A and B are shown apart, each in its own frame.
Chain A
C-alpha cells in the first residue's frame, strides 16, 4: 500500500489557476474512477472537494475541478483566492479493497 505521489508544495497568485498532480499505479488510480481530493486547513478536519475523479459535493465551489489520465489524477483550482491556501490530499480506492492517500501538497497563495 504505497502512498500516492503528490508534489510537496505548489504556489500561485490570486486569480491564477494551479494544478496539483497525484500519481498512483494500475492497482489504484489507473484502474478505478474512485479518486477523491480533500482540503485541510491547519487544525481542522479534512473537507471533501472532489469524489469519483471529477464530481463536486454540494456546496463546493465550481473553481475546483478534477480529472484523470492513466495512472495520474489532477486537481485544478481556478481563480485562486487567499482562502484556498491549505493542504490538499488525493486518495484512491485500490485493488486490495482498501483506500490509499497521497502524501499531501501545501498550497501557498502568494
Chain B
C-alpha cells in the first residue's frame, strides 16, 4: 500500500526555521513528482511546492518562494521542506502528496507547524 508519513512539525518562533520530512513507501518513489500542500487552522488548502523526480525542477507558491526549499533523497524515499524566516501566517498542517498530472493522488496525515512567540 502507498504510504506517506510526514514529520518535523512543531512550535517555532517567528523568524525561525524548521525542516519537514515525508517518508514514502509502497511505490517507486523516484518515479514520481511530489507536492507539499498546507492548511491553516479552519482554512482551505494552499499549494506550497512541487519537485520533479530527480529534484532538478522545483516550483513554489509566491508566498513562500525565497523562504522555503523543497528537496528529495531518492535513496531514502524522502522529500523535504526546509522552511526559513517563518511567519505567523505559515502556521498550518503541512501535507505531502504524490503527484498525478499536477494533482495529488495520495496524501499523508500531515504535520502541524505553529509559528508563534
Contacts and interface: CB of A to CB of B under 8 A. Distances in A.
Interface of A: 1, 3, 32, 34, 36, 38, 40, 45-48, 51-52, 57, 87, 89, 91-93, 96-104
Contacts of A92: 102
Q: State which size class the interface on B falls in.
A: 20 to 34
A99 B47 contact: yes
Contacts, number: 66
Nearest to A47: B107
Given A97-B59, A98-B61, A101-B44, A46 B102 contact: no
Interface string B10-28: 0000000000000000000
A24 to B, nearest CB: 13
B102 A102 contact: no
